[in-house]
A and B are shown apart, each in its own frame.
Chain A
Amino acid sequence: MRTDATFPLTARAPGEVIFRRGAMPVTAARFLAEVAALAARLPADGPVLNFCADRYLALVAFAAALSRGHATLLSADRSPQRLADIARLHGARYALADTDVALPLPVLRPEAAPSEAAPNPVIRADRVAAIAFTSGSTGEPRPHAKPWGALVAGARAAAARFAVTPCTGIVGTVPAQHMYGFETTLMLPLQGGGAGHAGPVFYPSDMAEALAAMPAPRLLVTTPLQMRALLGSGVALPPLRAVISATAPLAAGLAAEAEAAWGAPVLEIYGATEAGSVASRRTLEGDAWLPYDGTAFTITEDGASVTVPGLPAPVPLADTLEALEAGRFRLGGRRADMVKLAGKRASLSGLTSILTGIEGVADGVFLAPPDLDRNPRARLAALVVAPGLTPQAVVAALRGRVEPAFLPRPVVMLRSLPRDPVGKLRQGDLAALAWPRH
């Protein structure tokens, strides 16, 4: 991509529907008018913290900020403390939100107000449009800049890969501020195709109602955890064109059950906040991943990286990859120290050092259950030596320092950890203490 390349804010034709707010379709022309109206109300300087829950408002807010040259800070975590941390660390000048959160900066409510026709702004490909965050082991959010060109290329590659037609209805269950949700439910309608569903969708009955409210063909963008809940609830769905899953590996058994129940292919996206979506597969067709058009993978014994259109440098990947024929690859085991839960990564050694840093904790270790990569409900465990502390007190001390998804369950209190003569811990011994029933 040339550095002076540009892309329009939306690639959609003016009359195409890019979102549905309840029963109301929003055309690209109307969207642009609403973006211009909001852009005119924004403060002079960014960046902006955008944590709108309504997907359409999140998109209007992102687009209005971009058209003013303001980068959007994306936080899927809406806890006031996390938002304040990100705002402080990354210099947010204002926030755009549709809920009331007290923050030490001006919070504006985006309104989708009809206004006069507006042009389609042209934006340089190398402008940083969004900044996504990973949590990092220390709990400190780490920023990943997303140039506009990379976001556009990713959306267009996804539209081609999943054959998203202009009239495809897209129902997402992942927050719009999570990289996967941002790409599939905001950037895809903006630059690829399809019409997004604006409302909150989380529980099985929400998914069924949202899908029923969209005209066919319908695309459900979700996670293994929510697929499992949806199948378990027995709630019936209208016909689907496809289901897309990401954030955690999807077990073949769950994919087979879903395809049988919903009569649609179940597809998975492989990606990372740092790189965005970079490959996909149909789970039931095997374990080979097909890279997105335009990406290039480098796989060596020391690790893998991916070159993504629009990103300035190759992105190292946290997983081990094995090269297969025709550019495809297989995911090896995760690196032993890295765990991923609820779409967030952490290192076990990092969590362990937070644990042992708690006052009153003499020794301790975090460990992952053997079925972590197969069981969407899996949780980490902690073995703790802390005379005088209860398990509840340990969890209370961890809360606020680690993401809720990584809080240990169970917490097993011990007199000492089973260390060998040189002080090392054996995984087998630890697992037997944490999960005695297995």
Chain B
Amino acid sequence: MWSILLSLLALICGIQAIRAKQLLAAALWLAGVSAAVATLLYSLGAYEVAVIELSVGAGLVTVLFVFAIAIAGEEAMSARLILPRLLPLLLVLGLLAVLAVGGRQAGVNSEMLAVSRGQLATDQDFATTHWQERGLDALVQIGLIFAGVMGVLGLLTEQAGFVGAKRNSEELGRNQENSPQLPQVPPVPLSSHSSLSSHEFSP
């Protein structure tokens, strides 16, 4: 019963996230999807993933979305679509039909799944599986987190990149226009410098 309610909650939040006019409301609906999915994962017995999904999906990502929307601001979008309105719906319904046929085929092979479940009954704890069996994944995650930190720096640095360089050049030009004109200094010939230095440092 609870799983049905949580599933409906996740689907309704997902639909509302797409239908919402305001970006901030869409981000909050996405947090609702994350919370519902985390609860479903917890009910499945995947406690570690549920905690990570709740803290990262409903917490960190939502904060980042709110921050990015606050920087960029809302934009009124026109009603013109790239694709005809019914085409995405037809494509999705076609995919649903393919999935239904595939699911029916998978239902026939449920006995094979039961046999394979008996053969693969050597499930270890999460730490052993994650750090020993999937050690390469952990290394990849470290690289990804480093890339994510760079992304956060790009998000936080408003003056970065082309915009920052453009603003700096504009400010530099404005300062040069406003600065007082300095008197022209006549150039000094190089020969006098060389003779002076050779005279000073000669033994």
A-B interaction: no
Q: B residues engaging A (CB < 8 A)?
A: none
Q: A residues engaging B (CB < 8 A)?
A: none
